[in-house]
Amino acid sequence: MKIVGNFIDGQIVVSESRNTAPVYNPATGKIEREVTQSTEQEVRHAIEIAHKAYASWSTTTPLRRARILFTFKSLLEKHQDELASLIVSEHGKVYSDAIGELTRGLEVVEFACGIPHLSKGEYSANVGTGVDSFSLMQPLGVVAGITPFNFPAMVPMWMFPIALACGNTFVLKPPALDPSVSVRMAELLKEAGLPDGVFNVIHCDNDQANPLLTDPRIQAVSFVGSSRVAEHVYTTASAHGKRVQAFGAAKNHAIIMPDADLDATVSAVMGGAFGSAGERCMALPLVVVVGDDTADKLIAKLKPLINELRIGPGAKHSAQENEMGPLVSSTHQQKVQGYIDQGVKEGAKLVVDGRNYHVEGHAEGFYVGGTLFDNVTTDMLIYREEIFGPVLGVVRVPDYETAINTVNGHEFGNGSAIFTTNGRYARDFVSRVEAGMVGVNVPVPVPMAFHSFGGWKRSVFGALNVHGTDGVRFYTRMKTVTARWPEGQQTVSEYSMPTLG
């Protein structure tokens, strides 16, 4: 069986430990391939390789770095079918969703290609007599990325294109559940002209990954995953003097006002709740509906659509594509079904039950059908915790003020949306909602690459977000220079705070 290896110093290598972890095809429940599992010593070796490569890469001109990324962009486009098929076979999402993931990642590559402009710094002439002041944006050194299973291509591309463009070298730890696309992107980076050692991929379990948080050669860490692990990454890496951006869990809400265009809202909610089987940090698992009449109408429209979802393997076919694929693993399938059990136990009304969903010919696949709960309350586990599956809950409230207070009362603040045709409500919501990414009649308000992605509250740990201008700031440090070119020598020492003029 094929083993997915590490990519270190420009070549694929298998761990000397000879330990592997299985990589399943979620649609069939069968092992597709295996992934090598590295030792802590091998993780440190990957860091050392990146550290050695930094000296020459950091002095490579920004224009040269951008040209390599331009070539990489072309190779991503050329190989998008191959990359999407890898995502489908290991993650389980449908092919069109995999193409969408690649497209959003590629947009970050396009943004990073503008690094000659993005890293120009500032210049002020004559801040004093014969004195000029200017700033330089310089790379940090070796940086690390630890990424989740739900977007095995896009989330790494939130990180490494900008990091590389800024002159850093990179060590990526991808998830064991769907590791292949990261290694293939590493090969394409090399084909694009990236020098060996600048970008490295290391597969290991969490214990062996600890040097990514503690090794003094690592200058910054980017992480996406659960809030519990995100907080651990943040506190551990920060305690070792590293710059950290760590993104955690989400429980995104959408307020639905009585004046909303209900047909358009239903279509948006279906995509937000059940796209990618709900395995998105920007999924829409909760709708807060103002008024019982609005809630009744919404559920009446949602119920048949959820029952009619086309669920099955995500691979591209000539026939009509499925709308939702399996979950990523048997463990996660059982976890999501456990949340549905809990919702019933706590008294929520189960309108559509996705447990024990059967796909003909794929009895061993990790499927959960679309699920709809009504009368969800804020004390329920299915309200409080991130389910990360195709489960939608309806919370009924009497008015707009209760709705926005409900949204703001949750511990997570990743994304939130409102559906309304009333500009007054929309404007007030944008101003008052406690979330980092906000949609107005948009269910999944993921920013474009030239803006920055990040939430509030316990959805994020660290001050700077990914991609956009925050991404450039995160992967660079500013050096401010004050320079004097006097005509003669200064002979008098100054002991007070220097002033210019």
For the chain, what are the domain ranges? Answer: 3-248+459-481, 253-440
pLDDT tens for each residue of 357-413: 999 999 999 999 999 999 999 999 999 999 999 999 999 999 999 999 999 999 999
Q: Is the dihedral of CA 374, 380, 381, 387 positive or negative?
A: positive
- Residue of 97, 20, 157 whose CA lies nearest to 314: 97
Q: How far apart are the first and last CA of the chain?
A: 73
Question: What is the chain's Cα-based Rg?
Answer: 25
**What is the per-residue pLDDT for 499?**
75
**pLDDT of amino acid 488:** 66
CATH fold of 3-248+459-481: Aldehyde Dehydrogenase; Chain A, domain 1 (3.40.605)
Backbone angles phi, psi at 176, to 5 degrees: -70, -25
- Residue 181 and residue 91 in contact, taking contact as beta carbons nearer than 8 Å: no
Which pair of structure tokens corresponds to residue 196? Answer: 């060996």
CATH annotation of 253-440: 3.40.309.10
Cα–Cα distance measured from residue 385 to residue 388, given in angstroms and rounded to the nearest whole number: 9
- For residue 423, report the phi and psi dihedrals to the nearest 5 degrees: -65, -30
Residues contacting 488, CB < 8 A, separation 6+: none
Question: Count H helices, E strands: the chain?
Answer: 16, 23
Kindly report the number of other CB atoms within 10 A of residue 350's CB atom. Answer: 16
- What stretch of H or E contains 394? strand 391-397
Instruction: Identify residue 313 by its one-letter amino acid code.
Output: P
Distances (CA, A) of 161 to 68, 179, 286, 475: 10, 18, 33, 11
36: Cα within 13 Å, side-chain hemisphere:
23
Catalytic residues: 281
Residue ranges of the chain with per-residue pLDDT less than 70: 318-319, 488-493, 500-501
Per the CB < 8 A criterion, the answer to whether 467 and 449 are in contact is: yes
Query: pLDDT digits over 267-290, tens only?
Result: 999 999 999 999 999 999 999 999
